[in-house]
Structure 1
Amino acid sequence: MKEFIQYLPKVELHLHIEGTLEPELMLALAKRNNIDIPFNSIAEVRDAYNFHNLQSFLDIYFQGADVLIKEQDFFELTWAYLLRCQADNVVHTEIFFDPQAHTQRGICFDTVVNGIHRALIKGTTELGISSKLIMCFLRHLDEESAFKTLAQAQDHQDKIIAVGLDSTELGHPAAKFEQVFKQAIKQGFLTVAHAGEEGPASNIHEALRLLHITRIDHGVRCTDDEELVQQLVSERIPLTVCPLSNIKLKVFERMEQHNIVALLRKGVCVTINSDDPAYFGGYMTDNFLAVNQALPMNKTEIAQFTFNAIAASFISKSEKQRLTIVTQRYLEQNN
């Protein structure tokens, strides 16, 4: 089963590129850019990756982002992630980036997006990994800041396919960003949003109703509302779930308590993703293995996560058909 999971074609839909900043690269960039960080060794950085909730994670997440200064930094960050994708047989990825985490430090929006985009293009040509880029608004900042960020994205609509909403849910409801999402849709962006991770199931309802999102990032609190679960099934609304992240941030105490497999078996379009893998202890294969070890599945069920992710992705209908056929053949040859 481990080998089956390792070589299974995978599609990742919930990945924060800043969350792939491994300690080695963090220290190298800090030295190259002459940035002071409170760590002197890789071991010290890893020791700091012991979080007790989402906010304690976010504190070090934004601290780590301080070392990203030049376009080349964002390129190297993204390229390192794509090499991980290659190792895990991720054939398509849709990555988040947080421009406000950088522009509020004085980094130009163009510097951020151009560095990431350049690596994604190289990933397609040299590694055969297709990709889409999603710009997230930080929900702990105000809507005015989000509008400013949306305006900065106008010149990059050839690179950015969607807008999202991340950072802490608590105290920052979807309603706070209703107008900026309405404007983003008007400008042609697709929409996603984090909801129902640390916040209640009602946050999922609000994100669907007020932000008109096409898929929900996390969404594991949906099981507190059986009517919502039935809506997710009947309307095929995808959830981009991040199992190892959920354990690290204490959404669930143990993987055996996770609801991802139960949701899969109920017919929810649920997917497996790695979220912030440098901080949460695992990329895509690690997440698949962790779920299957705690909640054993058969190969058809495991492959269904990929079929769901293909269906939920922002690629063309023809590309969805191609990846579905590739995955189906893999399943038939190895079942």
Structure 2
Amino acid sequence: MSGFEHILQNTRAASERADEAFLRALPKTELHLHLEGSLEPELMFELAARNGIQLPYQDVDQIRQAYNFTNLQSFLDIYYQCADVLRTEQDFYDLTWAYLQRCHEEGVVHIEPFFDPQTHTDRGIAMQTVLDGISRALADGHEQLGISSGLILCFLRHLSEEAAFATLEQAIPYLHVFIGVGLDSSELGNPPEKFAKVFAAAAELGLHRVAHAGEEGPIAYIEGALDVLNVERIDHGVRCTDSEAMMTRLAAEGIPLTVCPLSNTRLKVYQHMSEHPILELLQRGLCVTVNADDPAFFGGYLLANYQALADHLGMTRGQAAQLAANSIQASFITVEQKTLLLEKLEQVIVA
């Protein structure tokens, strides 16, 4: 038994249901967050006015009413439409800074957010414009809020691998700005194998690799992400419950899953949070983590996702602490940084 597990098992009230104050106090990392998906309606209207864009919505309430998603694709259709208000470096800065402020309020100490360059470059927005705005905000977040970060560039899987290669080539001058590549957008019909060559090229550049798999897609997509793309984390991955062998493999190999509970219920992967398997996977020894995905669209940032597990699954303090520890261990920070964050986590647990 590790020292951390010993602390969890012997901490006073470890079996009590986690409350909001405890969840907020836990030092947490977020490993599955799309910056474009943190664009709140209020900021969307502000940026639209700044850039002279006419939105197809009359007010904030009308936008929120449109967020009645039935599946991943119905969400993506609105998601890409809303992203059109992002035009200038300041827009990308304001988007990222707003997310960082929310992180600071909720006890998030490290983030590894995604961004979708093709969503913007295909609209004529320069890669430099996107990266300058995001990276400037992340630097300010570290300096002013104490939040460390590592940016992940995602390829849109509904586009071709050739388009992904073009994006990677455009990003090469900015390798110092981001730490890895990912794969997102429409999962069904776009298997991981489609992007085998570009992920191999990213690995040769020394970049970390992650990929969305097993949200709407089948177990085969998780296998492909692991065996063909050689990813280090699976984003979502909840469909692993369809295969006893896959759950056993993920636990044995320590492959982290960046699970997004509120997203899974809003997109009807599960009809209700009470059906979510994250705590069962935690019990089986899988390295599951909690994340917000696209919080402006799915009704909650990281703290709300933790709280939903407490409210609907009866998550205990011990389980919440283990999920927070998993998020630290699954991050791409150094061993030294992980040690420091785990020490902070232990201080919260024993308080």
**TM interval, short-chain normalised:** over 0.9
Distance 2:230 2:203 in 1: 9
- 5 Å matches for 1:42-121? 42-121=60-139
- The equivalent of 1:11 in structure 2 is 29
Q: Which has the higher contact order (CA 8 A, sep 6+)?
A: 2
AA of the residue aligned to 1:184: A
Give the SS at the match of 2:178.
Answer: coil
Give the SS at the match of 2:30.
Answer: strand
- The equivalent of 1:244 in structure 2 is 262
Deviation at 1:297, TM superposition (A): 2.4
AA of the residue aligned to 2:303: T
Deviation at 1:301, TM superposition (A): 1.1
Structure 1 stretches of 4+ with a deviation exceeding 6 A read none
Give the SS at the match of 2:32.
Answer: strand
> Residue 179 of structure 2: which of 155, 161, 165 is its match?
161
Q: Which TM-score applies when normalising by structure 2?
A: 0.94
Distance 2:54 2:226 in 1: 41
> Residue 274 of structure 1: which of 289, 292, 297 is its match?
292
Is it true that 1:229 corresponds to 2:250 in the alignment?
A: no
Q: Deviations over 1:173-220 (max 9, x none)?
A: 111100000011011111000000001111101110110000000000
Q: Deviations over 1:94-139 (max 9, x none)?
A: 1000000000000000100110000000000000001110000000
AA of the residue aligned to 2:122: Q
CA RMSD of aligned residues (A): 0.6
AA of the residue aligned to 2:276: H
Deviation at 1:228, TM superposition (A): 0.8
- The equivalent of 1:178 in structure 2 is 196
Q: Deviations over 1:134-167 (max 9, x none)?
A: 0000000000100000001111111110000000
- The equivalent of 2:158 in structure 1 is 140
Deviation at 1:6, TM superposition (A): 2.0
- Structure 1, gaps ≥5 residues long: none
| Seq. identity, % | 55
Q: Which TM-score applies when normalising by structure 1?
A: 0.99
Distance 1:276 1:297 in 2: 22
Deviation at 1:41, TM superposition (A): 0.6
> Residue 200 of structure 1: which of 191, 212, 218 is its match?
218
Give the SS at the match of 1:51.
Answer: coil
Q: What is the aligned length?
A: 333
Give the SS at the match of 2:69.
Answer: coil
> Residue 212 of structure 1: which of 211, 230, 242 is its match?
230
Distance 1:7 1:100 in 2: 36
- The equivalent of 1:299 in structure 2 is 317
AA of the residue aligned to 1:197: E
Distance 1:25 1:2 in 2: 27
Deviation at 1:2, TM superposition (A): 1.9
Give the SS at the match of 1:76.
Answer: helix
Distance 1:200 1:254 in 2: 20
